[in-house]
Amino acid sequence: MKKFLFSISAILALFLVGCQGSNNTKAQQNTQSNETSSTAETSNSVKSSQRSESSTKKSATPTLFVHGYQGTTNSFKSMIQQMEQEGIAQREMVVIVHSDGSLETQGELSGEKTNPIIQVIFEDNENDEWNQTEWIKNTLSFLKEDYQVDKVNLLGHSMGGVSTYRYMGTYGQEDTLPEVENFIALGAPFNDFINTSDRQSLEDLLKDGPDETSARYQDFEELTPQISQETTVLLIAGQLSESDFSDSMVPITSALSVYSLLKANEIEVDYSVVHGQNAQHSMLHENNQVNKLIEQALWINSQD
């Protein structure tokens, strides 16, 4: 029954949430907008400065890209192409996960220090986060058994971020699976589509968590302590305008809702908010600023 209710709510949200307007007061809008703009601009200027003074570090650790609801191989296409053109990373494999959990692969991991990218494609791209959690596990088991992969980075957009977080909270302590070094979430609705920005500042959200929680978030309250403290997390949210505290679908307060949970469990976590029309939900993986944030988190000043 839990999965069925989620499927209905998720489908309705996909069609309805993007059309909902913000009811924030002007004072709250200005306060939160200034906070998010200041944080993103300060963080990005520091990271950009660091990148200009250093070169990209190469590793053989694969980074798995997990798409969102109804995603396909095109979901991360331009992002990966740009990274390849810049010589920062190289897509080496595509893993297609069939509905029964079996895997089909295209390409091979070279084992070389290319910052290899693996795209994970769910054949049933409208399935729920519980099944996707198992499919992610199957993929990582395959990489461990067939390629002796001991460490990975995980990147998930939207539903892919939710399912990846659930995976880490369910299997993050298993030593038979690769260790997750870094996790990056792009516009992931960790607290479903609940928007608390009309009554809660960003500062309060990051400190205390959302003041209204979904069943999904309540699950994550129980699962977060199982995430490895060796994992570093980056949460990326989109904000369309000063009056719209969302990426048109996922509220900032949902995309950043697990920040306080991670902090409370002594897991290293950072966040960034990107602004403007290119911060729209489906454009987050087409956004140059997002690309740079990912590159900086994974491959700039990282260890070999």
pLDDT of residue 54: 54
Quote the CA–CA distance of 138 and 101 in Å, as a whole number. Answer: 7
Quote the CA–CA distance of 101 and 60 in Å, as a whole number. Answer: 26
pLDDT of residue 24: 39
Quote the CA–CA distance of 98 and 154 in Å, as a whole number. Answer: 20
Beta-bridge mates of residue 96: 104, 121
Cα 163 → chain centroid: 10
- Where b means 16+ CB within 10 Å and e means fewer, 94-125 reads bbbbeeeeebeeeeebeeeebbbbbbbbbeeb
Beta-bridge mates of residue 230: none
Sequence ranges of the domains in the chain: 2-18+60-298
Residue-by-residue pLDDT tens, the chain, 304 positions: 333 333 434 434 443 333 333 333 333 333 333 333 334 443 443 333 334 445 789 999 999 999 999 999 999 999 999 999 999 999 999 999 999 999 999 999 999 999 999 999 999 999 999 999 999 999 999 999 999 999 999 999 999 999 999 999 999 989 999 999 999 999 999 999 999 999 999 999 999 999 999 999 999 999 999 999 999 999 999 999 999 999 999 999 999 999 999 999 999 999 999 999 999 999 999 999 999 999 999 998 644 4
Fold for the domain defined by 2-18+60-298:
Rossmann fold (3.40.50)
Task: List, for residues 117-131, the tens digit of each pLDDT value.
Answer: 999 999 999 999 999
Amino acid at residue number 153 = N
pLDDT of residue 300: 84
| φ, ψ (nearest 5 deg) of residue 164 | -65, -40
pLDDT of residue 185: 98
Cβ neighbours of residue 65 under 8 Å, at least 6 residues apart?
Answer: 75, 76, 79, 80, 117, 118, 119, 120, 155, 156
pLDDT of residue 301: 63
8 Å CB contact between 191 and 216: yes
pLDDT of residue 56: 86
Quote the CA–CA distance of 230 and 268 in Å, as a whole number. Answer: 8
